[in-house]
Amino acid sequence: MKELLVAALSMGWGVLAVLAGLLVYNFTKGNKDGAFKIFIGMLATLMIFMAITNYRDNFFAESRLLPVSLVLITATTFMMALYFSNVSALLKIGGFMFLVAAALSGYGNWLPQVEGGFPPPDVKLVFDAMSSQQLADEGEKIIFGGIGQSSVQGAIGKGQCPLCHGFQKGFLSERAPNLFGLPERAEKERLTDPNYHKGEPQKRAYVDKESCPGCGTATTVQEYIAESHSCPNCYVAPGFGVKGTNDKESPMPKIHKPPISLSLPELAAVDTWLYVREGREAPSYEDIIKSYEKFVPEADRPKQQDDKAAGPTQLLADGTEPVDQIFAKGQCVVCHTIPGIPGATGTQGPKLEEGTNAPNRIHDPAYKGTAKNTQEYIMESVVLPSTYVVKGFPDNLMPKIFGQKLSAGALKKIVDYLSQVKAGAPPPKIS
Ligand code: HEC
Ligand code: HEC
């Protein structure tokens, strides 16, 4: 294609040169009319020329300027039709058809370009054959949705960890410990904390004493990480427990259990990233898997059903789920009490009685958002949480990712449900 266009262009130069010669010839011979027609011919050639150049440049660049070529060609044919009356009808028809084509393709080109793309490749990842760096890359994808995404604010993958955890050095992470420096902290602070009761699970004061009967406690850094992931309630990092439980219970979900359901190989990838990105040497794949086998009984290990490459477009919920599952998958339940939703007992955010709250928020003189009714207020709160910050609650605690990470259908279900929740009234039905 490109070669053809280049050839056409060199021919164009040739034609131009010949025409220029003819123009000079006719002019010197005093043939004004002939000279003028040739001049028009040159102009036309030049315009076709521009059209082809534009087409060449924009065909390969993904720009939307292709219709410019078509318009140029149309204009050329019309111009020629004016001066070469013997072929005028033909040229006018041709020009008109070009114009129609230009209009149509222009319209198509200016529409938002949807990436048709291909479905994510259905490759089976072979974690155990990967190098440490490859494993770490897969880990980064699982946590953040893509390689290099760990430095992108708000990036989140199927592991969902950034919903709660900070990962960058010095990053304020109030909901959950910042996971930078975890290997060192595990060794120097966690395993030596008297409350950890290393080797003596029965002395633990936490909700779970052991991950499984006879599992015992972690003895190495890697085992501490595996235990943290599979049994958050076995030991709660001081200051991060569920409010009111005196740090006896953790808000963190078991990440090998639904909705996150990471398989052991995926967990190995996540852990490898945690070491490698700090420039540390990660334990071998086999050792990491072994550490999980200590805390996750065979029956609880998720099958590797979902071992397709974790893509950045992964949604937390696609909207086909019942609304209670959407609240669970979005982790709303961790921070919010939602009447009628089992397990939604969080207290870090307001109780979501939006049938009652929303009208009050909109009428608050401090309200600066654009919502006009309850539905719009809920949508705005979920998608742009900082638009209005409910009094008594912190800004920037609620994740700002739901606009991208929940499908339109899931958002609609959330809005429908919450708008029907009223203080003092029975909760709506789950659908
Ligand atoms: C809903 C919030 C939430 C999500 C999602 C979450 N965590 Fe946590 N995580 C916490 C909280 C809160 C703590 C501190 C309490 C505790 O020790 O269990 C914690 C503790 C940890 C610890 C122990 C940290 C330490 O300093 O001892 C690790 C490791 C960890 N999480 C890893 C992860 C990974 C990896 C993911 C994603 C696959 C994840 N978490 C997802 C809330 C979360
Ligand atoms: C990490 C904690 C956290 C998570 C997770 C979270 N929220 Fe929030 N949410 C808050 C906090 C804190 C506020 C109050 C501050 C504000 O208005 O931004 C809030 C405010 C709201 C409000 C406004 C409430 C009102 O009465 O005005 C709605 C609606 C809401 N959240 C819905 C959700 C939904 C739906 C999800 C899950 C998709 C969710 N939140 C997940 C912490 C959270």
pLDDT digits (tens, 9 = 90+) for 21-80: 777 777 787 777 777 777 777 777 777 777 767 666 665 555 556 667 677 777 777 777
pLDDT tens across 207-259, in order? 999 999 999 999 999 999 999 999 999 999 999 998 889 999 999 999 998 87
Q: Which ligand is closest to the CA of 176, given by its number?
A: 1
6-11: long-range contacts, CB 8 A cutoff, minimum separation 24: 6/56, 8/52, 9/49, 9/52, 9/53, 9/56
Q: How far apart are CA 190 and CA 217, in angstroms?
A: 12
Residue 153 is predicted with a pLDDT of 80
Contact 243/180 with Cβ under 8 angstroms? no
Q: How far apart are CA 296 and CA 225, in angstroms?
A: 13
When pLDDT is cut at 50, 70 and 90, the band that residue 117 belongs to is very low
Of the candidates 301, 263, 288, which has an alpha carbon nearest to the alpha carbon of residue 158? 263
What atom in ligand 2 is closest to the CA of residue 357? 26
Q: How far apart are CA 76 and CA 72, in angstroms?
A: 6
Residue 308 is predicted with a pLDDT of 45
- Ligand 1-lining residues (CB < 6 angstroms): 159-161, 163-165, 176-177, 179, 182, 185, 190, 225, 228-229, 232, 236-237, 240, 250-253, 255, 270, 331, 334
Distance 417 CA to ligand 1 centre (A): 29
Look at the pTM and tell me if it is higher than 0.75: no
The average confidence (pLDDT) of the chain is: 85
Statement: residue 374 has pLDDT above 50: yes
Q: Which ligand is closest to the CA of 331, given by its number?
A: 2
Residue 314 is predicted with a pLDDT of 72
Statement: residue 306 has pLDDT above 50: no
Q: Cα 77 to chain center, whole Å?
A: 47
- Ligand 2-lining residues (CB < 6 angstroms): 175, 330-332, 334-336, 348-350, 352, 354, 357, 361, 378, 381-382, 385, 389-390, 393-395, 397-399, 402, 414, 418
What atom in ligand 1 is closest to the CA of residue 236? 17
Contact 232/254 with Cβ under 8 angstroms? yes
Residue 296 is predicted with a pLDDT of 96
CA distances from 330 to 315, 399, 409 (A): 10, 10, 14
358-364: long-range contacts, CB 8 A cutoff, minimum separation 24: 358/419, 361/388, 361/390, 364/388
When pLDDT is cut at 50, 70 and 90, the band that residue 111 belongs to is low
Residue 240 is predicted with a pLDDT of 94
Of the candidates 222, 295, 223, 305, which has an alpha carbon nearest to the alpha carbon of residue 262? 305
When pLDDT is cut at 50, 70 and 90, the band that residue 309 belongs to is very low
